Amino acid sequence: MQIYDVTVPVHPRMPIYPGDPPVVFEPRLQISKGDPANVSYCGMGTHTGTHIDAPFHFIENGRKLHEIPLNLLVGRARVVEVTARKIDVETLSRLDLGEHIRVLFKTRNSQLWQQETFNPDYVFITPEAAAKLVADGIKLVGIDYLSVEEYGSKTFPTHVELLSNGVVILEGLDLRAVDAGDYELICLPLKLMDSDGAPARVILRG
């Protein structure tokens, strides 16, 4: 069984969504300076790199990160490859999601991880497509860049549609080495209490 690490490495030069906190790594203890161990400070936003959006991210009384059941984050998932510039209802009509409740969209976004600056021209999911995913019984939606939302949105309808219906959003995947198909998803976000989201280590087994 092959294991695919679809997690984006976290470092201070990585792209972050505009307005999010920067990534900071600072040594606080260093053996080279006479300290008994190396210890660093790490600072970042809860939506850095590969991360989970909990409903609380956009829904005031929504489920918080630590309240998301692990059985939504671990299990069979289908990776589907999309060449369109946006994922709309028409795009979904051409895809076979089978009986899966977890879908990961592989798009041209994955190539954007080669850039160190944020690129606003990414593939996103339309609100209408989000509503169809909800209607089809999808419980987890993953995409290979920092947002499922069209860049520049002020009301975030795609996020609201998914999160208000209890759908977990998994953003920031790197699917360059993964072919379309069925896999076992293992997604383990940091267990941050009362949080709106958290970075996660995500692997696929297939």
The token pair at 128 is 């209408």
Q: Identify the residue whose tokens are 């609380």.
A: 56
Buried-exposed string 51-77: b where 16+ CB fall within 10 A, e elsewhere: bbbbbbbbbeebebbeebeeebbebeb
How does residue 65 score in pLDDT terms, banded at 50, 70 and 90?
Answer: very high
Superfamily of 3-9+46-205 according to CATH: Putative cyclase (3.50.30.50)
Nearest of 86, 87, 83 to residue 111 by alpha carbon: 83
| Cβ-based neighbour number of residue 118 at 10 Å | 16
- pLDDT greater than 90 at residue 186: yes
- d(CA 165, CA 142) in angstroms, rounded, equals 15
Q: Give residues with Cβ within 8 angstroms of 111, minimum separation 6.
A: 176
Q: What is the mean pLDDT of the chain?
A: 97
How does residue 1 score in pLDDT terms, banded at 50, 70 and 90?
Answer: confident
Determine the straight-line distance between the first and last CA of the chain, rounded to whole angstroms: 6
The pLDDT tens digits for 125-173 are 999 999 999 999 999 999 999 999 999 999 999 999 999 999 999 999 9
- Residue 66 DSSP one-character state: G
Q: What is the mean pLDDT of residues 24-35?
A: 98
- d(CA 110, CA 135) in angstroms, rounded, equals 27
Q: What is the mean pLDDT of residues 25-45?
A: 98
Q: What is the mean pLDDT of residues 7-24?
A: 97
Domain ranges of the chain: 3-9+46-205
- d(CA 48, CA 35) in angstroms, rounded, equals 30
Q: Identify the residue whose tokens are 């997604």.
A: 187
Positions annotated as catalytic residues are: 57
The answer to whether 133 touches 169, Cβ cutoff 8 Å, is: no
Q: Which amino acid is at 145?
A: Y
The pLDDT tens digits for 88-112 are 999 999 999 989 999 999 999 999 9
